[in-house]
Amino acid sequence: MFRVATCVVAIVCAGMNGCKDLGVESPASPSSLQLGVATPLTVLGKPAHEVLHITSVKILLRNITFRVAGGEDSVEIASAPLVVDLDLTAKPKALVTREVSAHNYDRMRFSIHTPEDGEPLLDSVFAEGNDGSKRFSVVVTGLYHDTPFIFRSHESFRIDIDFTSPIAIPVTGSVSVTLKIDPYAWFTEGDLIFDPFNQGEKIDDLIKHAPMNAFRDNNRDGEPDR
């Protein structure tokens, strides 16, 4: 009986490419990448800002890939949507852990994603009512001139981030990478602060083009390793 069961398992595993699914979230393991997200330290002084005070930010990400340096091949980190709930105290938050091939990687790509009509919602904040057209990729709450606001973006964006220097994934061990996002950069340009009630198109444009960076952060302090 034991031999029969063993054979069945072997046959099933062979049909599943060895039963190894790199698309399933896993704990840290040999050649693993731990991706987190953080806000910059500059957000800490913003609650006292006289015009704009952001209190929460949620973003829906999907199709996260890292490009192998020196070529066009990419490794998939996460294809399914992930909810990013930014910590506005500038503390890094874990996002996903994946097994990856040992390479040097020089670019990160992902989509800020608006759920399609009929797509299951990971968080009800990304939809309003039952109208499929009222779905959102970014939801920001806060105060503008002391008046509460909710800013919602309907747009989807593709973001490319070139690493300052390639991130090396070793043959064994793990590497932590932090994606840094400043939500205040979505509402400001120089000394200008854009009204979240009336300037949605401009804010959408800033979300698409605002500087973001990602870097190796093995001690997970939200700053690049030295």
Report the DSSP beta bridge partners of residue 143: 53, 148
Non-local (6+) Cβ contacts of 51 within 8 A are: 144, 145, 193
Q: What is the pLDDT of residue 5?
A: 41
Question: Strand 82-85 vs strand 52-68: parallel, antiparallel, or unpaired?
Answer: antiparallel
Q: What are phi and psi of 184, to 5 degrees?
A: -65, -25
Contact predicate 73/107, CB 8 Å: no
Contact predicate 224/172, CB 8 Å: no
Contact predicate 35/179, CB 8 Å: yes
Q: What is the pLDDT of residue 212?
A: 93
Q: What span, in angstroms and rounded, lies between the C-alpha atoms of 14 and 24? A: 18
Give the alpha-carbon dihedral of 108, 110, 112, 116, to 10 degrees: 180
Contact predicate 158/109, CB 8 Å: yes
Q: What is the pLDDT of residue 30?
A: 55
Residue 22 is classified by DSSP as: T
Q: What is the pLDDT of residue 28?
A: 41
- Mean pLDDT of residues grouped by 10 in the chain (226 residues)? 39 38 41 94 83 96 96 93 96 94 95 90 88 87 96 96 94 93 95 94 96 94 92
Q: What is the pLDDT of residue 3?
A: 42
Token reading at 126: 């990304």
Report the DSSP beta bridge partners of residue 67: 74, 107
How many CA atoms are closer than 13 Å to the CA of 172, on its beta-carbon side? 0
